[in-house]
Structure 1
Amino acid sequence: MPKTQYADYSEARNLLVSYHQKPSIKLRNKLVKLHSGLVRKIAHQFSHQCTEPYEDLEQIGYLGLIRAIERFDPSQGYAFSSFAVPYIRGEILHFLRDRACAIKIPRRWQEIYNQGQKVRKKLTSSLGRCPTDIEIACCLQVSIQEWLDCKLAIQNRITLSLDTTVVHHVDCPITLGEALADPRSTSLQQQEEDRQQLQGAMSQMEEKTRIAVELVFLKELSRKEAAQHIGTSPMTVTRYLQRGKVQLVNLLQAPALAAGA
């Protein structure tokens, strides 16, 4: 993993621990600088999908990074980059939605979304409940964040007036705007619940299988890059991913089955 692309792990980790114990603007600014490459990478990705200037997307992305730094708990044991990406992406997506920016939906995202709807129906039938976003992403063999981005991008194409009446009371009609929950808090809460569920399942997996799943599905590295990181071949990484997919589905289904018993 090139040092120019990613912050030095040990330095960043020590700073995150220090900030969690005693927050300060000075430490936060150091952490922002160390992880600025993450913001730039995500901003570049979005700059090809909308008409907003890259510089604006980058600045908004830093707000998401700061939120992630303030909320990250190093004692949980998971990678900060995996924790920060949803906050950075989410901040940019909310900015684009609020600006009513016409997002160009990539063909790949349209295909993933369409396949996801088929997978959702199939899993609903087999599980007897609505599948989680993590389960859908695993079946599609894409990262959970890419699946969430696809969903939000497609949903943002549908425009509804917030003044539309959705519940009719004689004296007090309720509009769509009044009925909707705060999308930011709802989205972040769902992402946090999914992250905790995924982290718990992954902690029970075999080490190399877990590492391969984290590198490819969460950190979005290529299989070749993951193979170099693990010290094996891309073919072996593929086998780890296939094994990991089966293990994750079984582990994620177990709590639901136990609750229904």
Structure 2
Amino acid sequence: MTTIADEGLEAESEGSQERELTRIVTEYMPLVRHAVNRIVAGSTQSSILQYEDMISCGIQGLLEAQRTYKPDRGAKFSTYALPRIRGAILDALRAAHPLPRSLQKASSDIERAVAALYADLGRTPTKAEIADRLGVRLEDLLSVSQATSIKVLSLESLADMTVNGATEKLTEMADEDPAIDPHSVAQNQILRSQLLDAIEDLPERERQIIRLYYIESRSLKSIGRAMAISESRASQLRHRAIRRLRSYLSQELAEAA
């Protein structure tokens, strides 16, 4: 029979668990954003997906890592969590951008191998180590990785790419991602340049909001006060600017294809 005291203990335990989950999400949200932005930087195909949806998927991967993490295995939590965060995001991207069954399996095999090697090595595995784990040639691994990558146009990634201090801190939280190669970095630099050009072409108020919100990390409430408009109006202008930028970048990518 459950007593009032038992119910009180259960409620206290649930409250403690919720506080711990909130702490984990708050502390490691930069790592989730880092994972999303690295996927953006290392991808080669084109598809516009919602950044917020990927963040939500990354949080689910983070919480799964928190449930299964074993400190006695020696790996840092951030090192252990990163492949699970990436895996959750990539699963959502594949669902939104279906691949042939053979490529889906190959991609899933790679993600599982990366996660297992993270746990065994306590660091990011190299491409050669991943290929060896799977028993395939390095060239075949790279081909599959390129064929299954997805380009995500994200304005939010601009902040991570342009604020060097923040990027360096994120790099300290997680080891170098093996999915990034010089060609992908060059592609990302081109995309960043196109995005900056597109921002300059925005109407003045939209351009100002984009810079205040994404570059200076100001809240919509603060932006509204600075521009003498309501918070809801600032939000409307931000969404309008994002739609313009996505339309512009989609056209640029289509012309380059």
TM-score, normalization by structure 2: 0.37
Higher RCO structure (Cα 8 Å, ≥6 apart): 2
Structure number, greater radius of gyration = 2
More helix, by proportion: 2
